[in-house]
Amino acid sequence: MKKTIWIATSNAHKVEEFQTMLKDCDVKCLKDLDHTIHIIEDGTTFEENALIKARTLFNELHEPVISDDSGLEVDAMDKKPGVYSARFLGEDTSYDIKNQYIIDQVQGKVRTARYVCVIAYIDEDGKEHVYRGECEGLIHDKLEGENGFGYDPIFYYPAFKTTLANVSEEKKNSVSHRGIALEKFLKDWSK
């Protein structure tokens, strides 16, 4: 029988990535609840926000849960958008606009950036675990690629010689911030 794991998100893209990477698990998310819970992400770090989400869902279910908080840190922008990546320039602003804004901000500056993902896991006993993954890259000078989501079309990964939006999901997951954090989590989960 598959283990069930709840993920404190309703983001369809994140759920899809987790389902792909946790293929031996029954992955459930906030949309699978019979009621709505509101999670207020008011932390100032990825770790704080991941734990806020996990604690909120754990307190509802009292079952093992994971959550992630992730985002893009651009060095030329003082590591912004950071924990505000999803809300950067407004939650309803399209990523095409957000991506172009970042490209414009790094013109003539250092283009180094990283994706950061922190996964918080609360086990059936309520014990908290935190796993951090980072993926280093550069801000590309244009949008490139149709795969992925969010900032992937401008996140140039030097080893691939292209953006993360220009490779398969499997290839992206092999180096992604979420993939790295998830690999660390899976070592504990499989014990």
Is there a binding annotation on residue 181? no
SS (H, E, C) 49-111: HHHHHHHHHHHHHCCCEEEEEEEEEEHHHCCEEHHHCCCCCCCCCCHHHHHHHHHHHCCCCCC
Comparing CA positions, the residue from 68, 81, 70 lying closest to residue 139 is 81
Tokens 């998830």, located at residue: 182
Q: 150 a known binding residue?
A: yes
Is position 14 annotated in a ligand binding site? yes
C-beta of residue 103 within 8 angstroms of C-beta of residue 151: no
Q: Which residues are catalytic?
A: 69
9 is in an annotated binding site: yes
**13 belongs to an annotated ligand binding site:** yes
Backbone angles phi, psi at 91, to 5 degrees: -60, -30
- The residue with tokens 């499997």 is 170
Distance between CA atoms of residues 43 and 64, nearest Å: 22
Q: Is 26 annotated as a binding residue?
A: no
Residue 180 CB contacts under 8 Å (≥ 6 apart), including other chains:
117, 133, 134, 135
Q: Binding site annotation covers 172?
A: yes
Is 152 marked as a binding-site residue? yes
Whether residue 12 is annotated as binding a ligand: the answer is yes
To the question of whether residue 149 is assigned a binding role by annotation, the answer is yes
Answer yes or no: is 177 a known binding residue: yes
Residues annotated in a binding site for Mg(2+):
69
Residues annotated in a binding site:
9-14, 69-70, 149-152, 172, 177-178
Residues annotated in a binding site for substrate:
9-14, 70, 149-152, 172, 177-178
